[in-house]
Amino acid sequence: MTDPHSGGAVVPPSTIGMLGGGQLGRYALMAARQMGYRTIVLDPDPDAPAGAIADVHLVAPYDDANALDHLASRCDVVTVEFENPSAVSLERLAEHTAVAPSANALAVAQDRRLEKRFLCEQGIPVGPFALIGAASDLPSADGAVPFPAILKTTAGGYDGKGQLTVCSPGELADAWAELGQVSCVLEQHLDLEREISVLLARSGSGDVVAYPVTENIHVGGILDVSVVPARVSDRVVVHAVAFATRVAEALEYVGVLAVELFVVEGEVLVNELAPRPHNSGHWTLDAAATDQFAQQIRTVCGLPLGSTLMTAPAAAMANLLGDRWSNGEPDWAAALVDPDVRLHLYGKSRASPGRKMGHLTATGPDVTTALHVVQRARTASETNARAPGAQRARPALRHVDADDATDGVGHGTRPHYDQHLAHDEPGEVAFGPAPDRRSDDASRHSADDE
């Protein structure tokens, strides 16, 4: 569907539905509420961050037929905040209400095989890769892709999970076995000059606006910091934006789209697509005329697109992963000493290693300064948290049993925030059998990307 709003724009106080209730959904629903929309989120986790923002939280699996039908009947438009919900769920919704982005766009972005095929069909450069669907594919794959290489599951990878580095044919066979002999993509381990992303918004009528290209630095497979504008040549910017625009147009995409790219020997290659707002676009909350979440609401509702201009010369964003909570709550007052720093916490009820709990943003006269300021702020919060005998006010902590630890961490003594919402709060509607929170968390951690 090119335009989910052929019947006209969805204007406030209509109701917007969101599949997925993590931090991306939380910010999108904040933007929606600010504009006067009513909101419903569907997420199986009763503690989902967006559940605290939405007017109604449907607590059910993403493929629960009753919950999907309820969402479709109450919402004027439904969107997604991550690519885990199946395209089939979106198709079901699209039978009764407007849906953006489309089930097809979601299907392409959630499967690395389809994604690679699509990019190649569009003539968009990607790094050397091979598809592995069966043991018989292994010999040809190791011939086509030089080692070292990275073996990635085609579906369900997330922040470096579902990925293994391999250096020889023997390691490739072992790695494929370790990943469960599921469908995989083998990619050459490239020597990257830069990792960058293009965040754009495309409307149902085909208008496209792009934000300034962002530069991303990963640590351990997880985004660590982003800076904008990216420190790349104008030529790289032009190619990156052109490739991302071609992707959006070929998919007849409606919504905010993030395209992750590599710069290798001065050339731009597309890495992967995210059919939603993106971690590398969080700086827009504090340094763009229209943030990526407000833009998402505008696109999916058929409203005119907002300005993507920066409101500061440069910005830097630093992620706050759950590891930083291992000694208690970090010292946010110390992080905020510099007036150009802003704190964002997502309201997650459990901290665990590698889990995105929040981020800091700094604006500045140039990228070097903004990066320095945001890193200094993050370090300040950490140093103070670990100071022996430091006495700071913090929320009540509780100790969880292994049984209670749903992230595969927190065994016995790891402190967790005790900020669980009452499950029978007004506005929360449970569908079907009670969600299995352990397996839900496991599936979230096999969600794609960032």
If one asks whether residue 359 binds ligand AIR (CB under 6 A), the answer comes out as no
User: How are beta strands 77-80 and 194-202 bridged, if at all?
Assistant: unpaired
Q: Which of 356, 359, 414, 416 binds ligand AIR (CB under 6 A)?
A: 356
Q: Please, which residue, 127 or 277, has the CB nearer to ligand AIR?
A: 277
Of the listed pieces 16-24, 85-93, 392-400, 417-425, which binds ligand AIR according to CB under 6 A?
16-24
> CB of residue 355 vs ligand AIR: minimum separation in angstroms?
4
If one asks whether residue 81 binds ligand AIR (CB under 6 A), the answer comes out as yes
Residue nearest to ligand AIR (CB): 22
Binding mask 31-70 for ligand AIR (x = CB under 6 A): ----------------------------------------
Q: Which of 25, 51, 85, 127 binds ligand AIR (CB under 6 A)?
A: 25
Nearest to 264 by CA among 200, 187, 175: 187
Whole-angstrom Cα distance, residue 419 to residue 395? 8
277-280: which pairs have CB atoms within 8 A and are 24 or more residues apart?
277/24, 277/27, 277/28, 277/81, 277/199, 278/24, 278/197, 278/199, 278/450, 279/223, 279/226, 279/319, 279/356, 279/359, 279/450, 280/197, 280/199, 280/214, 280/216, 280/223, 280/226, 280/317, 280/450
Number of alpha carbons in the 13 Å side-chain half-sphere of residue 62: 22
Q: Please, which residue, 359 or 444, has the CB nearer to ligand AIR?
A: 444
Q: What is the DSSP letter of 52?
A: G
If one asks whether residue 109 binds ligand AIR (CB under 6 A), the answer comes out as no
> CB of residue 4 vs ligand AIR: minimum separation in angstroms?
21
Whole-angstrom Cα distance, residue 278 to residue 401? 33
Whole-angstrom Cα distance, residue 404 to residue 408? 10
Q: Which of 62, 82, 293, 431 binds ligand AIR (CB under 6 A)?
A: 82
If one asks whether residue 23 binds ligand AIR (CB under 6 A), the answer comes out as yes
- The residues facing 208 across adjacent strands are 202
If one asks whether residue 450 binds ligand AIR (CB under 6 A), the answer comes out as yes
If one asks whether residue 350 binds ligand AIR (CB under 6 A), the answer comes out as no
Question: What is the binding site for ligand AIR (CB under 6 A)?
Answer: 20, 22-25, 81-82, 355-356, 444-445, 447, 449-450
